[in-house]
Amino acid sequence: MICGQYRAPRWAPGGHAQTILAALAAACPAVSYRREVWPCPDGDCIGVDFAQPEPQSATAPVLVLFHGLEGSSSSHYARALMSEAAARGWRALVVHFRGCGGLANRRPRAYHSGDSDEADWILRCVRARWPAARLHAVGVSLGGNVLAKWLGERREDAHLLQAAAVVSVPFDLVAGGMSLARGFNRALYGRHFLRSMRRKALDFERAFPQRVDIRRIAASGDLYEFDDAFTAPLHGFRDVMHYWQQASAKPWLRSVAVPLLALNARNDPFVPAASLPSPQEASPSVLLEQPAQGGHAAFVQGPWPGDLRFVPQRIFEFFERGA
C-alpha cells in the first residue's frame, strides 16, 4: 500500500502558501490547447480542452482529466499530465465542470464533489466518439472523488474504462472539509479558492435570482460555511454534512471493478492521513499508494523550482504496465 518511489523535493518550501504556489507555477510545462464547447443534456454547456498536438488516429489511447476544486486546464497538475500525454502520442482532454474554465452557467446548477452522474455522461460521450480507442480517466482532488465514486457506483458498467487513476483525493469529505476550516489550511483556502467561489456565486445570483441565500454565501469564511449556504441547497442536500457524507467516495471503493491507482500523500494539508482508505476498505482492483510526503496534487521533485513529472509518469506506468 505504501509507495516507495516518490522522493521529497530538496528545496522544501516550508509550508508558505505563496512559496508553494510560486514553485508549482515555475515547475509547470507549457501546453497548447484546442477548445470545444459541449452541450449538456439539460441545456447547459461545458468547456473541453484538448492538448496539442492531437493524434489523428481514431485508435490512439484517450485520457480524460477531471480537475480539482476551482481548477482548469491551466492548473499545474493538468499541464503536467497533458504535456506527458501529448508527448506519448495520446489524445488527452481536460473536461471542465459546470461554471469552470471560463464558461458561465446556463442552468441553475454548479458542480460538486459527488456529481458522478455528470462524469457518467462525459465518459460515455468520449466512449461514443472514439469507440475503438482505449479509454482512461484521471481525477485530481475533487475530480478524483467524483471519478472514484462513479467507479464504485457503476461497478461492472465502468468497464468502458481501461483503467483509472486518482490523486490527492479527499475520500472522506467530512474529514477533509473540517481540515480545510482550520489554521493554515483555512488561510490558504480562503485566499486562493473561496474568493473565486464566492465571486462565481455572486454571478450565479445575478443570472438566477433568489435561488440561493447570497448574504450567507458572501459572509462565508470557510468551505463548511460556503457548502452549507451554496453547494448543498443548490444540489438538493439538506445541509453541508448531508452533502459531504453522501458525496464521499470512500464507501464506494469496495465496489470498484476497474483497475484504479489511488495516490495520496500522507502529509497532504487538505486530506488528513487518518482519513485515507486502508486496503480493507477497497476492492482488489484498487492500488493504494500513500507515500509519506508529496503535499496536495503536487509531488514536486528535485531542486528549485523542481518538476512535476512524478505523478504523470507514475500514472502512465500504471496505465501501460500495471493495469
Catalytic residues: 141, 268, 296
Q: According to DSSP H, which parts of the chain are helical?
A: 17-27, 76-87, 116-129, 142-154, 173-179, 183-189, 195-207, 214-219, 223-226, 232-234, 240-247, 310-317
Evaluate whether 247 touches 153 at the Cβ level (below 8 Å).
no
Question: Which helix or strand (DSSP H or E) is residue 136 part of?
Answer: strand 135-140
| Cis ω for the linkage preceding 259 (within 30 of 0) | no
Distance, CA of 182 to CA of 175 (rounded, Å): 11
**3-class secondary-structure state, position 91:** strand
Burial class (CB in 10 A: 0-12, 13-18, 19+), 53: exposed
Beta strands in 78-126 (DSSP E): 91-95
Look up residue 84 and give its three cell numbers: 506527458
For residue 61, cis peptide bond before it (omega within 30 degrees of 0): no
- Cα 262 to Cα 144: distance, rounded to the nearest angstrom: 9
Beta carbons of 236 and 247 less than 8 angstroms apart: no
Comparing CA positions, the residue from 320, 265, 253 lying closest to residue 63 is: 320
Q: How many CA atoms lie within 13 A of 164 on its CB side?
A: 34
